[in-house]
Amino acid sequence: MGVFDRFRRGPRTGGATVLTALATATGDAQAHTFSYPDVDVLAYFVDTPLPHVLYCTYGLSQVESSQRIAGTQTELTLRVPDNSDALPPKWPADQLARMARNVRRSGVDIEPGHHVSFDSGALSGFVFTGDPVLGQVDGPTGRIQFTYGVGLNGDDLERMLRWDPLKFATLLGDLYPLGLTDPARAPLSADDKVRLLLDDTANAEGSSIGAATAKYLEVDAAGRVDMDERAASALLRAARYRLLFGRTFALVRDDTFLLFDPNAEAVELAEDHIVVPAGADVANELLAVFDAAPGSYSLTTAPLTLKVIDPAT
C-alpha cells in the first residue's frame, strides 16, 4: 500500500499534512516513491521557480498518527537539477534515506545550521537550512519542519566551516537559485570574486562552529591528546577562526573532550577531559607548530602534547 492510499483512509494524520504541503508546492505533481526499511523518499518533477526534482522523506515525522505530540517534527528535503530523464535519479533518495537512518540511530534530529561531511564522492557534504518553499506546516500531530539539504562541492565544506553554515547556505542560494544539489557544480571558490568575498568574510567574522566531533580522541591527566587527522584539521581551523577571535572550541568524542576556553582561569587535566585557557598565544603557537599530518607536537603555551594518528593503522 502506497503513501497516497494511506492518505485517503481514516482520520487526518501527520502524513496527510506532509502530502498536502508537497502537493501545494509541486502543483499536484505525481510522486515517484523510493522505499527503504525505515522511511520512504518521495520525488517530484517540478517546473517552478525553475525545473528541478524535489525529494522529501516521508516517515521521519509522525505520518501514521493523528495525535498531537510535543516538539517540532522533521522531514528532510533535497533538490537536484532536472536533467529530463524519464525517472528521477536514485542517488539523492539514497542520500536522504541514509541521513534519516542516522537520525533514527542517534535520536538527534537534523536541524537548520547542521552539516554533514563525506570522506569520498562527488559531494564533500551537505549543509541544512529551512526549506525555501515548504518551510513549516501545522497538522494534527503538531508542527512539521521541512529541513533542506544543500550539497557542498570541493572546498565548499572547508570554507563554510571557516565562517557560518546558515550564512554560507544563504550565499549559495543567492548564487544558485534554490541551492540545487549538483555534483557537477564547481565550488563557490572557483569564482575569483566569490572566493575573495569568502576569504574576507571569514577573516572578519570568524567561525560560528564551536565544536567538532572527533572520529578518534583520547586524553590523559599528563596532557597527552591523541586525535585523528580530521580532528586535527578542525583544531587548526578553530585556532585561526575561533581562538584568535576570543571564542571557545571543543573536540568531542563520546564522553571525552578537549576544550580551549579563553575564559578559563587554569588548565584542567583529567583522564576524560582537558580544559585549556586559550588566548592568542595558544592560537598562534598551534598555527605555527601544529599540523594535521600524523606526528607528535608539543606546546609551550599549554602543557599539551598533541599526537595526530591514523586510527586505521
pLDDT digits (tens, 9 = 90+) for 23-60: 999 999 999 999 999 899 999 999 989 999 999 999 99
Closest by Cα among 55, 20, 21, 17 to 39: 55
pLDDT at 76: 98
Task: Say whether both 109 and 176 belong to one domain.
Answer: yes
On the CB side of 142, CA atoms within 13 Å amount to 11
Task: Say whether both 144 and 221 belong to one domain.
Answer: no
- The tens digit of pLDDT for each residue in 106-135 reads 888 999 999 999 877 789 999 999 999 999
Task: Say whether both 67 and 28 belong to one domain.
Answer: yes
Cα–Cα dist 236/231, whole Å: 9
- The tens digit of pLDDT for each residue in 180-209 reads 999 999 999 999 999 999 999 999 999 999
Domain edge (last residue) among 204, 222, 242: 204
Task: Say whether both 197 and 251 belong to one domain.
Answer: no
Is the pTM for the entire model greater than 0.75? yes
pLDDT at 78: 98
Q: Which domain holds residue 251?
A: 211-309
Task: Report cis status (omega within 30 of 0) of the bond before 51.
Answer: no
CB 79 within 8 A of CB 128: no
- Residue 11 pLDDT grade (very low, low, confident, very high; cuts 50, 70, 90): low
Helix and strand numbers, DSSP H then E, in the chain: 8, 17
Residue 280, domain CATH: 3.30.1360.230
Task: Say whether both 9 and 50 belong to one domain.
Answer: yes
Task: Say whether both 237 and 188 belong to one domain.
Answer: no
CB 265 within 8 A of CB 232: no
- The tens digit of pLDDT for each residue in 239-268 reads 999 999 999 999 999 999 999 999 999 999
Mean of per-residue pLDDT scores for the chain? 94
Task: Say whether both 197 and 215 belong to one domain.
Answer: no
Spell out the alpha helix ranges (H) of the chain. Answer: 3-8, 14-26, 91-106, 156-161, 165-175, 192-205, 229-241, 280-289
pLDDT at 12: 81
Count the domains in the chain: 2
- Residue 217 pLDDT grade (very low, low, confident, very high; cuts 50, 70, 90): very high
Task: Say whether both 194 and 59 belong to one domain.
Answer: yes
pLDDT at 311: 80
User: Above 90 in pLDDT, residue 8?
Assistant: no
